[in-house]
Amino acid sequence: MTLIVAGIGTDVGKTIISAILCEALKADYWKPVQAGDLSNSDSHKVKDLVSNPMFNTHRETHRLITPISPHASARIDNITIKQSDFILPHTQSKKLVIEMAGGLMVPLSEDMLVSDFIVTLARPVILVSNYYLGSINHTLLSIDHLRQRNIPIAGIIFNGNRVEESRKIILKMGDLPLIADIPHTKNLTKAFIKTHAEQIQHHPRLACL
């Protein structure tokens, strides 16, 4: 089972949600493209948050130095990101959570968007939303884009302090199964990840993947 974690934008909580899903599903983790923060990458962060002793992170295909859009960061590094670069890692658990970079329309190269890469993976997506001003628009646009590309959506996870009206209208108009609401925390620990993993590990939308 392979599951893709995609966000409505940058810094919406994809890495936290990926850690929770890895813990809940006893899955490995892979982020194909990391731009910037190489000494404290998302792979490092997830590894530090997951308690499962059998958990494994797989090395990024592209580790880019500059924390900007991957296509631009790759150009600085004199790299062109191609679809043929990516090979799904082998996992002992046979379960893998793949975290995408940025939002769906982020360019990985001059002719490949994140959503283009997702299409080739042909795996279901968990969409991560957040409660900032404008998130309703970004979430509904992301849902619409995934559906236009015929990308299967397993469900949505909200991250951050709940705004009830935003949550309600997104669930109604987006018509997606709710997987979880993950509150904002200033104390991000293994215990926090494990607690929320236990709450979703038997969710029917995850169990049927």
Contact indicator for 143, 173 with CB cutoff of 8 Å: no
Burial of 93 (0-12, 13-18, 19+ CB in 10 A): middle
DSSP characters for 171-201? HHHH---EEEEE---SS--HHHHHHHHHHHT
Report pLDDT for 186. 87
Q: How would you write the pLDDT of the chain (209 residues) with one tens digit per residue?
A: 899 999 999 999 999 999 999 999 999 999 999 999 888 899 999 999 999 999 999 999 999 999 999 999 999 999 999 999 999 998 877 899 999 999 999 999 999 999 999 999 999 999 999 999 999 999 999 999 999 999 999 999 999 999 999 999 999 999 999 999 999 998 899 999 999 999 998 898 887 76
Q: Which residues are catalytic?
A: 31
Give residue 108's domain range.
2-207
Name the nearest CA neighbour of 95 among 38, 156, 28: 28
Q: How many domains does the chain have?
A: 1
Rounded Cα distance, 59 and 197, in Å:
23
Q: Tokens representing 18?
A: 């990926």
Name the residue with tokens 């997987």.
179
* H or E element at residue 148: helix 135-148
In CATH, what number is assigned to the domain containing residue 43? 3.40.50.300
Report pLDDT for 1. 87
SS3 category, 152: coil
Report pLDDT for 206. 86
Report pLDDT for 204. 87
SS3 category, 101: strand
- Please report, in angstroms and rounded to a whole number, the separation of the first and last CA atoms in the chain: 7
